[in-house]
Structure 1
Amino acid sequence: MTGGNIKKPEGFMKEKLYVLPDYWMKELEQEGLTSSLYITDIGYFPKAEYHFRERPEGSPAHIFIFCEAGEGWVELNQGERMILREGDMIVIPPDTHHRYGAMPENPWSIYWFHFKGEHATRLVHLFGLSATPLTLSPSGIARFIEWFHPAYELLAERTYALTTHVHVAQTARQLLSGIGINSNKSAQEKKRENYLEQAIQYMNQHMGGSIRLTELSRHVGLSQQHLIHLFNLETGVPPIEYFLRLKIQRAGQLLDLTELSIKEISSAVGISDPYYFSRLFKKMSGFSPSHYRNIPKG
């Protein structure tokens, strides 16, 4: 890993280590297919006894660490020490004072990589990967290991090829987003997700009619204010607008898959006025219902 101090300069038995040459760094920063995200360093340290790093100025890249076995620790901005055990991972933000190392009694084995790019910070925050440990599921661990070895071999053996860096960058993006979607959620996050699923299921069951915010919040068991906050947080829109979007989505399916008239489709999604339905459909989809139906698809 670039920069910092180490308490075992001779490295680790069977370690893997690749550092992107400076000339490639400049190339990837300017290449359209990699400027948004690319790997700068990647490696594997098995049973990394005495492993230690400290970077008072932080790293210019995000640092992804996955603890395959054993135990280690991470401190950010001289804050509380976070323990990483088997199956845990963390992403250390760039330009952040940090220290980390192996536990002396049971030193960790870690896979790690550094990544940069215009989308790196947004990707990490969007998928909830920033600065706190997450525990990967068994399938998540398997997917990570499956990604790591080919990515490392490509970078170490074919670093001269732009196609190598593009491919590894694209698969790294998929890896990070997949970890974010499938990582173990907190009890609070699971509860929030359950409320949302209940509300959307209720909407789908009442697609042919109308619902009020009062009855939806009563069904879910949340206050109206809390329900609005939940939908804004998770979907970006309040509940009733989300319900309208579901109606327009269902209407689009009916336009594509049936011979129903626009008036019949309007009625099927619980909008009694077909003229209002047509205006709403065009506002949300960008096309009138008849124009949308005539667009070739598939």
Structure 2
Amino acid sequence: MISDSHRKKEGFQGQKAIVIPRKILSSKCANNHIISALYVTDIGYYPKAKYHYRERPHGADQHILIYCHEGKGEVTIEKNRFTIEAGEYVVVPMKIAHAYASDENKPWTIYWAHFKGTISDSIVSLIKKQVNGYKGFIQNNEKSIELFNEIYGQLEKGYSSDHLQYSNMCLWHFLSTFIYNQFDVKGKANQMDTIDKAIDFLKNKTDQVLGLEEIAAAVNLSVAHFSYLFKKKTGFTPIEYFNHLKVQKACQYLLFTDLRIKEIALELGIADQYYFSRMFSKVMGMSPNEYREKRIH
């Protein structure tokens, strides 16, 4: 633990930080319909922050995300105490007692942001659900750091409505890189889990008719276990999801080709065009012909 005489809240070589005036937050963020759902209150970067230490017995008025780029430190949230190292991040919910400190021998370099807004609680809950706690690991940090710099750079230019709106719209993307770090910047899975693999399998089979047994076998799982995992992750049964993919493909045919409904059904492996129309209507809330007419006009 850092001795009292060495503790520092700030004052590190190369550090940068912006604390947005609370008057600006209340007048231009909290009351702005575009960004009131989620907005930055404070943001900063502390390189090699030796003796960095903060303790808030009553928590902060905002949620906090700290990303450790290099070195390591220690974080305590209520009674949960853990080490955070390079590549890891921690989320600290607002109003929760916490403390954190840089390691004396291997001081951390951190990117951090405080944020709040009407949906900020839900964002933090989602992060906690994804990492099963307060601490997570981010595999590819280039996009996160790029977005951090984009947010910081805009706020550095001042607090005009345009700068605030742009930077805080970037905040959504910034946080999403931590929540959904399994996707790279092109939207492809870096390390696909079993359900990701199953979805990729289904995407390439929209011209076929598949049974549940065949889909489960493609990822080497029993039907029961696969069905449970699939619905837990997606909210849909595998067959429902497969039908959604077929309908998505059908929408493209309806928009960009002159194929008749029967021909589109056959492209999707469905011999009965009436069955296809019913499936399409159930998903889209309108018939294939209505969809085509609506998009044309």
What TM bracket, shorter-length normalisation?
A: 0.7 to 0.9
- Rate the CA distance shift 1:35–1:260 in 2: closer, same or farther, 3 A: same
- Tell me whether 1:60 sits opposite 2:55 in the alignment: no
In the TM superposition, what are the counterparts of 1:124-135 in structure 2 within 5 Å?
Answer: 124-126=124-126, 128=130, 131-135=133-137
The one-letter code sitting in structure 2 at the alignment partner of 1:196 is I
Determine the C-alpha separation between the residues in 2 that align with 1:131 and 1:194: 20
Task: Count the aligned residue pairs.
Answer: 285
What's the offset of the Cα at 1:33? 1.5
Deviation per residue, 1:71-94 (Å, 9 max, x gap): 111111122x32222232222122
- Rate the CA distance shift 1:150–1:177 in 2: closer, same or farther, 3 A: closer
In the TM superposition, what are the counterparts of 1:5-44 in structure 2 within 5 Å?
Answer: 7-8=7-8, 11-27=11-27, 28-44=29-45
Q: State the percentage of identical aligned residues.
A: 35
The one-letter code sitting in structure 2 at the alignment partner of 1:32 is H
Determine the C-alpha separation between the residues in 1 that align with 2:277 and 2:37: 39
Q: Secondary structure at the match of 2:96?
A: coil
In the TM superposition, what are the counterparts of 1:178-197 in structure 2 within 5 Å?
Answer: 178-182=177-181, 193-197=192-196
Deviation per residue, 1:33-67 (Å, 9 max, x gap): 12111111112222222211111222221111122
In the TM superposition, what are the counterparts of 1:212-227 in structure 2 within 5 Å?
Answer: 212-227=211-226
The one-letter code sitting in structure 2 at the alignment partner of 1:33 is I
Indicate if the aligned counterparts of 1:93 and 1:131 stay in contact, CA closer than 8 A.
no
Determine the C-alpha separation between the residues in 2 that align with 1:175 and 1:229: 31
What's the offset of the Cα at 1:170? 0.7
2:3 counterpart residue number: none
Determine the C-alpha separation between the residues in 1 that align with 2:204 and 2:214: 13
The one-letter code sitting in structure 1 at the alignment partner of 2:211 is R
Determine the C-alpha separation between the residues in 1 that align with 2:10 and 2:59: 23
- Which shows bigger deviation, 214-223 or 278-287? 214-223
- Tell me whether 1:90 sits opposite 2:108 in the alignment: no
Indicate if the aligned counterparts of 1:90 and 1:130 stay in contact, CA closer than 8 A.
no
What's the offset of the Cα at 1:150? 4.3
Structure 1: give runs of 5+ residues left out of the alignment.
1-5
2:138 counterpart residue number: 136
Determine the C-alpha separation between the residues in 2 that align with 1:149 and 1:204: 36
What's the offset of the Cα at 1:112? 1.1
Determine the C-alpha separation between the residues in 2 that align with 1:163 and 1:115: 18
In the TM superposition, what are the counterparts of 1:88-237 in structure 2 within 5 Å?
Answer: 88-126=88-126, 128=130, 131-137=133-139, 140-159=140-159, 161-182=160-181, 193-204=192-203, 206-237=205-236
Query: For the aligned residues, what is the CA RMSD?
Result: 2.8
The one-letter code sitting in structure 1 at the alignment partner of 2:16 is K
What's the offset of the Cα at 1:238? 0.5
- Rate the CA distance shift 1:269–1:57 in 2: closer, same or farther, 3 A: same
What's the offset of the Cα at 1:130? 7.4
Determine the C-alpha separation between the residues in 1 that align with 2:204 and 2:11: 60
Indicate if the aligned counterparts of 2:76 and 2:82 stay in contact, CA closer than 8 A.
yes
Deviation per residue, 1:132-174 (Å, 9 max, x gap): 333333xx43333333334334324413x12221111111111
Q: TM-score, normalised by structure 1?
A: 0.84
- Rate the CA distance shift 1:204–1:171 in 2: closer, same or farther, 3 A: closer
The one-letter code sitting in structure 2 at the alignment partner of 1:173 is W
